[in-house]
Amino acid sequence: MADLDTAWNRLEDAAKAAGEKRIVEFFDHEPGRLSALTLDVAGLHLDLSKQAWDEAGLEAALDLAHAADVEGARARMFGGEAINSSEGRAVLHTALRAPADADFKALGQPVMADVDAVRVRMKAFADAVRSGEIKGATGKPFKAILHIGIGGSDLGPRLLWDALRPMKPSIDLRFIANVDGAEFALTTADMDPEETLVIVVSKTFTTQETLANASAARAWLVEALGESGANQHLAAISTALDKTAAFGVPNERVFGFWDWVGGRYSLWSSVSLSVAVACGWDVFQGFLDGGAAMDEHFRSAPLEKNAPVLVALAQIFNRNGLDRRARSVVPYSHRLRRLASFLQQLEMESNGKSVGPNGQPAARGTATVVFGDEGTNVQHAYFQCMHQGTDITPMELIGVAKSDEGPAGMHEKLLSNLLAQAEAFMVGRATEDVVAELKAKGVSEAEIATLAPQRTFAGNRPSTLVVLERLTPRTFGALIALYEHKTFVEGVIWRINSFDQWGVELGKVMAGRILPELESGATGQHDPSTTALIQRLKK
C-alpha cells in the first residue's frame, strides 16, 4: 500500500491523463467498465460508468482510499470511538437504525437499550395520537402537526415527509424553521389550534430561531386554548428537561437523543417524531431498516464494490484531480425535490473545513458547493450552463424505476428525460452533426458558420446515476445512509473532522450582540458598514 502523499500524487497524475480523454471512449477500451462501475445495493442501482475516471483513475482512487485507511476509520466509527476528536465524542447515528439486539457502544458504553427505549416511547406516542387516544384540550383529535426546528432539526424531517407522505394524510404536517415571521404567519394561517400538535425540536432548548418560533406558537395556542390547554398541545425533542418543563411541555412528551448524534444525522432519531406520527410507525421503521441495510453493506463490502466509497471517490477524483469545485444533485422525482438542500447541510457543514483535527491546514481542497433541484424543471433553468458553460460541473442524477403515482405515461416521460440528459452530458453533439442537419434544412454556408458552433455540445460532462427500484421507506433510508457514509469517507481522505461545525457558531454569537442594538440599545463596536446599516435599520 502506498503512503498517502504518493497515493495523492498518483491520483492527480491519473486524473490529468484521464481528463485529456473522452468518457464515452473509455467504454471502447475497457470491456469490463460497466460491471466494475455498476452495483445494486439495498434497492438502489448505481452507475458510475459515466464518471471521468478510466481504469487507471479508478485504481488510483482506490489506492488513495486504502492509503487513507478508510477501512480502519470505518471500524473506529462503528466501534464507537471518539472520532469527533474536537468534542471527544463518538459518532453513532448508525445505532439509531440498528435492531435492538445490535452491539453498539459509545466510548465503551452500550447504547442500544437507551435507543430502543426511546423508539418504544416514540411508537407508543405516534400510535396514540393517530388513534385519537391522545387528544387536544377541547377533546378534538389532532389533525395537524406543527414541527418547529432549524438546520438538521428541520431539513431531515422535512425531506422525509416529502418523500414518504401519503397522498391524503389523515394528519397533516407543517414545518417552520425561518425566524422570518412571514413563514409562521403563512404556515399557520389555515390551521386550527384546537386540532394542532406543536412539536419543538432543540437539543439544548436554546436555539434562537427555534425558540422564537416556539414562543410564537405557544402564544398562538394560548390565545385559543388558555395556558393549561396550550400545554396539552405541546411536545418536545430535547435533553433539557428543566427548560422544556418551564416552557410547559409535560415530561412524558419530551423525547431525548444523545451527544453522539450530530444534528445533520439526527433524522433517524426522535427528531423525526412528527413524521412517525403523521406517516405511521411502520413507515418510519421501514426508513430505519433501509438505513441499516446500507450500513451493513458499507461495513462489510470491499472498497472496490462499496457504494458509498465509490461515490465518494468519484467526487474526490473530480474535486481534487480535476479541480471541479461544484457538484449538482438532480432528483428526477418530485418527492425528492429537497434532497439537494438536505445534502447542502450534510456535506458542506460536515466537510466545509480548511483545518484538520491536528490544527494544521488541510493539504487539499475539501467540500464542493452542492446545488440542485428537481428534474425536469432544472432542464429549463441551469442545465444550459451545465451543457455549454465554460466550467464542467459533475452531477448525480437520481431516478425511481417504478411509480404508480400520477396519470398514465407520465413516469416514462420523466425517466426518458433522466436517461437522455445523462447521455447528452457525456456524449454531447459534434459540430459535423450540427452542420449536416443545417445543410439538410437548406441553411446557407454563412449562417452555418455562425450557428454551428452555438449548437455544438462538447459533452464529456461526468455523472453518476442512482436509481431506486421504487421510492419506499426502505429505499429512501438506504439513499440517505449512502450519502452519510459518502460524506464520512471524503472526510477521512481529506483528513478533516466531518462531525463538528464550529463555523455555525460565529454568526449566532454576533447576531446575539446585534439584536439588542436593533431593538433599543446603543450601537456597539462594528466595522463601518455594519454600524451604518444598524443605524439605518433602527430608523
Please give the positions annotated as active site.
349, 380, 508
* Dihedral sign (CA 289, 69, 110, 160): negative
What are the grid coordinates assigned to 37, written together?
Answer: 462501475
- Residue 292's contacts (CB-CB under 8 Å, 6 or more residues apart) are 94, 97, 98, 99, 477, 481
DSSP-derived letter for residue 317 is: I
Distant-in-sequence, close-in-space partners of 465: CB < 8 Å, separation ≥ 6: 45, 46, 47, 50, 396, 397, 398, 399, 418, 422
Phi, psi of 259 (to 5 degrees): -70, -10
Angle between helix 445-454 and helix 431-440 axes, rounded to 10 deg: 140
CA torsion 491-492-496-497 (nearest 10°) is 80
3-state secondary structure 142-210: CCEEEEECCCHHHHHHHHHHHHHCCCCCCCEEEEECCCCHHHHHHHHCCCCHHHEEEEEECCCCCCHHH
> With contact defined as beta carbons under 8 Å apart, do 534 and 518 qualify?
yes
